[in-house]
Amino acid sequence: MIGRFTAVARTGWMIPALALSACAGGNYRPVSDAPVRIGPPYTVRGATYVPAADPTYDILGYASWYGSESGNRTANGEQFRPGWVTAAHTSLPLPSYVEVTALDSGRTILVRVNDRGPFAGRGRVIDLSRGAAEALGVRAQGHIAVRVRIVDPPEKDRARLRKGKSAADRATVPEQILVNLRAQMKAAGL
């Protein structure tokens, strides 16, 4: 057996093949929840963003979605996969988990934040992947009013999202709460 390997290695194809196999996957960071990265402040188009851990994060604003960047590297080094339920946020740690609620329907989904953005549009608080927009039922819209809350989901839901699958269904928000949230957005001028 050793003699065969030596003979094959001498042919010149084995060593390059082994070297290339070490590069498989495009040198992306594996999809993982560790380490969590916060990162230094950064500036995009004249606006400075300061990443920080905020266990009370709960905000109203607008979500948009993106998907044409398939294969690009996310801000935490993972490969962007448009069909996965992920999102971009300007300041939450990477990765983070958020509940995103569509204020028109009350539908709520769990999303894994693994990228930075959005960097355009007044009141935009999160960019959803195409997969997240589909799961939320908002892909047909360019942007939608949402509530985004940081959460600490069970490992079972985290594992599903890390594998590109949707987490377990979440309860729909009752209409009376949606009315209140929409009124808060209106009062804030959004």
Q: State both tokens at 46.
A: 């004249």
pTM of the model: 0.82
Whether the link from the prior residue into 55 is cis, omega within 30° of 0, is no
Gap between the Cα atoms of 103 and 77, Å rounded: 31
- Find the angle CA(78)-CA(64)-CA(39) to the nearest 5 degrees: 40
Domains annotated for the chain, with CATH where assigned, are 51-187 (2.40.40.10)
Please report the pLDDT score of residue 70 as a whole number. 57
In the chain, helix, strand, coil percent, each to 5? 25, 25, 50
What is the DSSP pairing of strand 86-88 with strand 108-115? parallel
User: What string of pLDDT tens digits covers the 190 residues of the chain?
Assistant: 344 333 333 344 333 333 333 334 568 888 888 888 898 999 998 999 999 999 999 999 999 998 776 568 888 888 898 899 999 999 999 999 999 999 999 999 999 999 998 888 789 999 999 999 999 998 888 789 999 999 999 999 999 999 999 999 999 999 999 999 999 999 999 8
Sequence-distant (≥ 6) Cβ neighbours of residue 58 within 8 angstroms: 147, 148, 149, 150
Q: Which residues pair with 150 in a beta bridge?
A: 98
